[in-house]
Structure 1
Amino acid sequence: MSMLPELKTRRLVLRPIAMSDAEAMVELAGKDFEVARWMTSFAWPYEDGAAESFLKTVVGKDPFKTEALYAITLGGVFIGVVAIEPPGDLDDLPDLPTLGYWIGRPFQGHGYASEAVEAALDWAFEAFSTNAIGARAFEENFRSRGLLRKMGFKPYSMTERFSRTLDRRISNVVVRLERPDFEARKDAA
């Protein structure tokens, strides 16, 4: 079974998610409406045991069948998650792996998300042998859309997803990143 490699950036270490991350996930996202409101998968209020149940579907499983889920850590402290899901998550781009991520509120605004996302994308292009990666963000999530734009993602389509946290359907922008656009941005940096 392919284990995920650890990914290191200037300030962060991305390591495969572990069952022991459940508590930090609940504290930073499950109990914080300002993080949870941007997720489609989170129930609100967060249910006891939900993090553990979710992690059981990923930890120790084949990341190319479930998802490649990384804990983003800063000096050993869990600060968020970045994930690459195998093709099939986005109806609009069914052939592409898709990116997802969140950062706990105390750690937002320092560029950690960009750093983690860049490392994950770099790894994913190779690991999935793909020339493009998809993602989506709530239409009004301007910070996330800005980060995706910075990485080289371009608008592809609009879709709706049901948000359990907000209890309504939300407009989402589906974006697509071509490998040459990602490489060009990296080379320019």
Structure 2
Amino acid sequence: MTILPELRTRRLILRPIAMSDAEAIMELGGKDFEVARWMTSFAWPYEDGSAEAFLSTVVGKDPLKTEAVYAITLGGVFIGIAAVEAPGDLEDLSDHPTIGYWIGRAFQGHGYASEAVEAIIDWAFAAYGSDAIAARAFEDNFRSRGLLRKLGFKPYSITERFSKALDRRVSNVVVRLSRADFEARKEAA
């Protein structure tokens, strides 16, 4: 089984998620509708035990076969999650790993998501040996779509997913980042 390495950026440490992160997940994401509304998997209102149930599906499992989930920390404080789901999440890009992320509202607007997502993309290309990585964001989530565009993702398709928090199907833009584009962007920086 693959052991997730700790990832460090200029300001952040991304460490493998742990069962002890359940309370922080609930407080920062599950209890804040402005975070939960952009997630397909968060029920609203957040149900007791949801964080623990999620964590039990990833902690101690092989991250390359399920999902590699990182706690994004700033000065040791949990501020969000960055994750890479094994290939198979997206029907039309089934051979691509898929990234996802969220940041607690108090920590948004400071570039932490960009920093964390760039680190996890770099790790994912090495870990999965894939030629490309995919992501998806609600069509009306302009901040997330802007972050992905800034990192070099290009629109690929539109799909629909059921959003538990919104209790309806939501249009999602599927985007794709090639390894070549990612490497070229890193070299230019």
Shorter-normalised TM range: over 0.9
Partner SS for 2:93: coil
Q: Distance in 2 between matches of 1:69 and 1:154?
A: 23
Q: Distance in 2 between matches of 1:160 and 1:57?
A: 24
Structure 1 residue 186, shift from structure 2 partner: 1.4
Q: Distance in 1 between matches of 2:90 and 2:37?
A: 20
The answer to whether the aligner puts 1:165 opposite 2:170 as a matched pair is: no
Structure 1 residue 6, shift from structure 2 partner: 0.2
Q: State the AA in 2 paired with 1:54.
A: F
Structure 1 residue 63, shift from structure 2 partner: 0.3
Structure 1 residue 66, shift from structure 2 partner: 1.4
Match of 1:78 in 2: 78
Match of 2:8 in 1: 8
The answer to whether the aligner puts 1:183 opposite 2:155 as a matched pair is: no
Pairing 1:22-33 to 2, within 5 Å after superposition = 22-33=22-33
Q: State the AA in 1 paired with 2:112.
A: Y
Match of 2:121 in 1: 121
- 1:50-109 Cα deviation digits (max 9, x unpaired): 100110111011001110000000000000000000000011211100000000000000
Match of 2:98 in 1: 98
Q: Distance in 2 between matches of 1:66 and 1:171?
A: 24
Match of 1:149 in 2: 149
Q: Distance in 2 between matches of 1:97 and 1:2?
A: 16
RMSD: 0.6
Partner SS for 1:165: coil
What is the TM-score normalised by the length of structure 1?
0.99
Q: Distance in 2 between matches of 1:40 and 1:58?
A: 17
Structure 1 residue 184, shift from structure 2 partner: 1.4
Partner SS for 2:91: coil
Q: Distance in 1 between matches of 2:141 and 2:179?
A: 24
Match of 1:63 in 2: 63
Partner SS for 1:71: strand
Q: Which runs of 5+ in 1 are unaligned?
A: none
Match of 1:138 in 2: 138
Q: State the AA in 1 paired with 2:10.
A: R
The answer to whether the aligner puts 1:47 opposite 2:59 as a matched pair is: no
Q: State the AA in 2 paired with 1:150.
A: K
Q: Distance in 1 between matches of 2:110 and 2:171?
A: 27
Q: State the AA in 2 paired with 1:100.
A: G
Q: Distance in 2 between matches of 1:127 and 1:15?
A: 16
- 1:156-180 Cα deviation digits (max 9, x unpaired): 0001111110111111000000011
CA contact (8 A) 1:92 1:174 kept: no
Q: State the AA in 2 paired with 1:176.
A: R
Between the two proteins, what is the percent identity of the paired residues? Answer: 80
Q: Which runs of 5+ in 2 are unaligned?
A: none
